Amino acid sequence: QVQLVESGGGLVQAGGSLRLSCAASERTFGSYAMGWFRQAPGKEREFVSRISRSGGSTYYADSVKGRFTISRDNAKKSVYLQMNSLKPEDTAVYFCAADRTVTVHTNPVAYDYWGQGTQVTVSS
């Protein structure tokens, strides 16, 4: 039932910034915790960040903590990922995902719905 569409990816130089957006079709968007994951070619899908249903709690992978910020606007049915101080190792397809539970999940199998992904490429 939940359709998610990511946008905002692109090519950026190391040290630059991008802001990713994820728009949801679900009227009950506020009932889902939201996560961001990323996947590079040939690699496992990796947890990046998570935000609770109300937006009051956020979680980050150690690799992005201090550089990335997750936020949401339930009225707009959207979640965002502000990415600063980007590094070449951040290059990946970034996915947003929705989780119906309140458990803090970093495993992608725990998420119920996924977007199609948006490419982020960071050059040296």
Structure confidence by residue, pLDDT tens digits, 43-88: 999 999 999 999 999 999 999 999 999 999 999 999 999 999 999 9
Q: Does 27 have pLDDT greater than 90?
A: no
Percentage of residues of the chain with pLDDT beyond 90: 95
pLDDT of residue 26: 79
Q: Which of 81, 78, 94 is nearest to 25 (CA)?
A: 78
Q: How far apart are CA 3 and CA 94, in angstroms?
A: 16
Reported as a pLDDT band with limits 50, 70 and 90, residue 3 is very high
Residues 6+ apart with CB under 8 A from 94: 6, 9, 20, 36, 37, 38, 48, 81, 117, 118, 119, 120
> Chain-wide mean pLDDT for the chain?
96
Token pair of 103, please?
Answer: 């458990």
